[in-house]
């Protein structure tokens, strides 16, 4: 009986240990360079002193739990100990999340939430082009991407086919940026009727957009540019983590930003948000080709672009190519829709003076702005850390400066007085010697010194 009980306890302990190991994030070292091509890997490159890395740790553990029954292995690597590995994979910041799938390496550029990281893994593990075999599969894909965009190639899926070959190449290059499907016309509902076949369709905002080749000739560059410009909804929610991704659309970004935590301006912010949304969704014929509309629920990104401390709501236009930005002189709260539409057209026609840029003074201003933001951020996060980083060094420097400025000089007075007296004696004329009236002793006769 006792032996059976011990075996039961041992089995339970071993099972628990196996479960812990299977859901654990593996600590990697330089041997990772020899094995990363064997199986799919999701790896976090971190530094022990990085605050963002510590904040990501519980989320990354949840991701590893979700992937424990998949072929994907989850690990993390300390870049301070194994800097050669980090250099091999061009890691320049912390934390950096990468997905390894054979020879292909992809870097996560979105938010560091569990949902976004899992979405990144789902895209990166492929395949680049997913097959839709029925109307049911098409409806599943449509429901899955109801808040985003996806692309569908209609036609014969033959690698020899020129358009399918170009479509597949673009899908390989933009694997982690969107979803790409392929099927025939039978998978589409009756209401969707493409003009030609084969073709490529973009589904977003409950609408369908068809690719139109210039002069009827499909080129790799034109197809990629079209996909890049159509892979975002008309008015998406964007954060500072993925704004660089949407900036690659090649369009002027129309950013409506407000502070979601500011309850006083919430009503006005919602009104302006609705107004910009109408421009994005109902006036595509005027603005879709040149502008990408978006909204942000915090002011951090627009403040960083303008290097200012503004309060929302604001509307800012950013040209990602030139790094110039534009802001109307009239407060957005006082602008009507017609005024905002006219302002957008004036920016497009270069009738509005630009701000920002990449000049010397802008770079110098960036240095001071980042310094101020860092100091304010440290103060807001921890008063003790602020005192340790800035208060203590300032106090030490002040004491040293005060000591140097107020220190009394000590002169060697006796030595200087002797030197001065000797100099004075050399300069004064010598007085003639006077006869001394003091009685001198007389020599005793007979005691003179003989010569």
Catalytic (active-site) positions: 50, 53
Q: 136 phi and psi, to 5 degrees?
A: -65, -45
Sign of the CA dihedral running 77, 81, 85, 87? positive
What are 319's strand-pairing partners?
324
Cα angle at 28 between 26 and 29, to 5 degrees?
Answer: 160
What are 104's strand-pairing partners?
101
- The b-or-e profile of 138-154 (16+ CB within 10 A means b, else e) is beebeeebeebbbbbbb
Q: Could you give the CA distance from residue 407 to residue 377 in angstroms, rounded to a whole number? A: 38
Instruction: Copy the structure tokens of residue 41.
Output: 């890997």
Sign of the CA dihedral running 304, 308, 313, 314? negative
């Amino acid at each position: 009986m006792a032996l059976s009980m011990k075996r039961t306890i041992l089995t339970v302990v071993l099972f628990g240990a196996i479960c812990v190991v299977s859901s654990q994030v593996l600590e990697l070292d330089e041997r990772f360079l020899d094995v990363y091509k064997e199986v799919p890997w999701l790896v976090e490159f971190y530094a022990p002193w990085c605050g963002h890395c510590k904040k990501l740790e519980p989320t990354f553990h949840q991701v590893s739990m979700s992937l424990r029954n998949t072929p994907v292995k989850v690990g993390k690597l300390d870049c301070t100990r194994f800097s050669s590995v980090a250099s091999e994979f061009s890691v320049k910041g912390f934390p950096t999340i990468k997905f390894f799938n054979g020879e292909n390496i992809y870097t996560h550029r979105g938010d560091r939430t569990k949902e976004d990281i899992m979405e990144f893994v789902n895209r990166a593990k492929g395949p680049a082009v997913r097959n839709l075999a029925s109307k049911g599969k098409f409806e599943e894909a449509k429901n899955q991407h109801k808040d985003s965009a996806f692309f569908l190639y209609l036609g014969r899926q033959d690698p020899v086919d020129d358009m399918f070959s170009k479509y597949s190449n673009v899908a390989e290059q933009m694997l982690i940026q969107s979803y790409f499907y392929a099927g025939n016309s039978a998978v589409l509902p009756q209401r969707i009727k493409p003009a030609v076949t084969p073709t490529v369709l973009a589904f977003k905002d409950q609408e369908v957009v068809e690719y139109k080749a210039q002069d009827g000739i499909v080129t790799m560059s034109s197809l990629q540019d079209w996909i890049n410009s159509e892979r975002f909804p008309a008015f998406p929610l964007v954060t500072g983590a993925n704004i660089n991704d949407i900036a690659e659309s090649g369009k002027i970004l129309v950013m409506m930003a407000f502070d979601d935590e500011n309850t006083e301006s919430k009503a006005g912010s919602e009104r302006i948000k609705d107004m910009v949304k109408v421009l994005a969704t109902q006036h595509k014929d005027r603005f879709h080709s040149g502008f990408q509309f978006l909204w942000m629920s915090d002011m951090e990104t627009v403040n960083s672009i303008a290097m200012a401390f503004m309060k929302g709501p604001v509307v800012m236009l950013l040209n990602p190519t030139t790094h110039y930005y534009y802001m109307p002189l009239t407060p957005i709260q006082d602008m009507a829709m017609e005024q905002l539409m006219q302002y957008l057209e004036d920016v497009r026609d270069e009738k509005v003076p630009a701000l920002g840029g990449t000049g010397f003074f802008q770079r110098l201003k960036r240095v001071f702005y980042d310094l101020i933001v860092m100091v304010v951020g440290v103060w807001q996060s921890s008063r003790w850390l602020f005192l340790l980083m800035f208060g203590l060094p300032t106090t030490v420097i002040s004491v040293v400066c005060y000591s140097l400025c107020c220190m009394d000089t000590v002169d060697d007075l006796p030595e200087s007085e002797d030197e001065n007296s000797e100099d004075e004696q050399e300069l004064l004329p010598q007085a003639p010697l006077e006869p001394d009236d003091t009685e001198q002793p007389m020599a005793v006769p007979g005691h003179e010194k003989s010569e």
